[in-house]
């Protein structure tokens, strides 16, 4: 019974992908969801409070790309959401809607966070506004490779770019910076670094530094890397993921198809993680059938 239901979902997941071409799929891809280990005693009330808190921030997300809120006197749910600065308002809305509909796959865990192409959303039973780094921090490396002879200069330039961007983002009022560097006539690398706006300067710096060290130290010379920490997100890619956003074409972040494949998501339990996974080697967690279905459907 269950295996066949599962097989059906897998079938749906796979047969749906070829028909929904990248350029027509309006949903930004999900990179990673991280669910807490603890379970709420009253999933229904908790879920209601999440829905209410998420609704409260949706207006702020629309107008300023950022919001925090809480809901419920008992079983209080805190929510924090942020769109990356380069996202246009319509794409921000799209990204928020995507993350809001996906994050409940963490129920009945009392906390969860999701990294989507263009935005971040988190809920918890405690206030997470100053969380900077923690044990659930993760990074993912792209399987895109750069030509042998360009690799040394590519690695050097990318490391320098990410060093510059993290320094600049930490000093800016909105804690975000994007930039690019041309490595060879036909090769440019694009990068971004962004903290959640609720952090203080120290928290932001610590977060960016950890993320930078991870992707520069462990992903290069891969053609792309993403750091997904409690308080920030960093990325570099040979694809111009932030440039020339258009609200109608392409998904949330304007990912090119090359970097888009099944990059995630994968369910990870905070506190016991394998923190590294090559983007192309993510295997859906066998421990959660519900999430397996989600994985397959979002991997298009």
Contact between 39 and ligand NAG by CB under 6 A: the answer reads no
147 interacts with ligand NAG by CB under 6 A? no
Decide whether 43 or 273 has the Cβ nearer to ligand NAG: 273
Q: Return the number of the residue (47 or 144) whose C-beta is nearest ligand NAG.
A: 144
CB of 48 to ligand NAG, least distance (A): 30
Q: Which of 10, 47, 181, 187 binds ligand NAG (CB under 6 A)?
A: 181
Taking CB under 6 A as the rule, which mask of x and - marks residues 260-279 in contact with ligand NAG?
Answer: -xx--------xx-------
Q: Does 183 bind ligand NAG (CB under 6 A)?
A: no
Give the tokens for residue 133. Answer: 């780094």
- Cβ neighbours of residue 271 closer than 8 Å, sequence gap 6 or more: 37, 135, 136
- Under the binding rule (CB under 6 A), the answer on residue 253 touching ligand NAG is no
Sheet of 119-124: strands edge to edge? Answer: 66-71, 77-83, 119-124, 111-116, 30-35, 267-269
**244 sits near ligand NAG (criterion: CB under 6 A):** yes
Instruction: Determine contact, residues 124/34, Cβ cutoff 8 Å.
Output: no
161 touches ligand NAG (CB under 6 A)? yes
Burial class of residue 258 in the structure, from the number of CB atoms within 10 Å of its CB (0-12 exposed, 13-18 middle, 19+ buried)? middle
Both tokens assigned to 199 = 């952090």
The answer to whether 79 and 69 have CB atoms below 8 angstroms apart is yes
Report the distance separating Cα 223 and Cα 179, nearest Å: 16
Question: Which residue in the set 8, 12, 243, 283 belongs to the binding site for ligand NAG (CB under 6 A)?
Answer: 243
Q: Report if residue 5 touches ligand NAG, rule: CB under 6 A.
A: no
Task: Please check whether residue 232 is in contact with residue 208, taking contact to mean a CB–CB distance below 8 angstroms.
Answer: yes
Which positions lie near ligand NAG, rule CB under 6 A? Answer: 130, 132, 143-144, 157, 160-161, 164, 179, 181, 199-200, 202-203, 240, 243-244, 261-262, 271-272, 280
């Amino acid at each position: 019974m269950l295996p066949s239901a599962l097989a059906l979902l897998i079938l749906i997941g796979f047969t749906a992908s070829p028909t929904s071409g990248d350029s027509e799929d309006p949903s930004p891809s999900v990179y990673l969801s991280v669910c807490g280990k603890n379970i709420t005693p009253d999933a229904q009330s908790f879920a209601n409070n999440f829905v209410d808190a998420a609704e409260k921030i949706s207006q702020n997300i629309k107008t300023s790309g950022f919001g925090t809120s809480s809901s419920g006197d008992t079983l209080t749910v805190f929510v924090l959401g942020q769109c990356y600065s380069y996202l246009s308002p319509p794409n921000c809305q799209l990204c928020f809607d995507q993350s809001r509909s996906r994050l409940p796959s963490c129920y009945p865990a009392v906390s969860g966070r999701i990294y989507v192409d263009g935005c971040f959303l988190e809920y918890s039973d405690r206030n997470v506004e100053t969380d900077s780094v923690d044990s659930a921090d993760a990074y993912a490396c792209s399987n895109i490779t750069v030509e042998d002879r360009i690799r040394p200069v590519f690695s050097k330039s990318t490391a320098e770019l990410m060093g510059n961007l993290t320094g600049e983002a930490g000093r800016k009022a909105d804690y975000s910076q994007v930039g690019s560097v041309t490595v060879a006539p036909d090769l440019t690398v694009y990068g971004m670094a962004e903290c959640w706006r609720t952090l203080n300067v120290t928290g932001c710096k610590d977060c960016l530094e950890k993320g930078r060290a991870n992707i520069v130290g462990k992903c290069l010379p891969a053609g792309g890397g993403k750091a997904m920490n409690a308080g920030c997100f960093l990325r570099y890619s040979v694809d111009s993921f932030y440039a020339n956003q258009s609200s109608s074409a392409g998904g949330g972040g304007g990912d090119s198809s090359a970097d888009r494949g099944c990059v995630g998501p994968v369910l990870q339990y905070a506190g016991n993680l394998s923190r590294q996974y090559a983007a192309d080697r993510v295997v859906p967690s066998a421990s959660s059938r519900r999430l397996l279905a989600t994985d397959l459907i979002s991997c298009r």
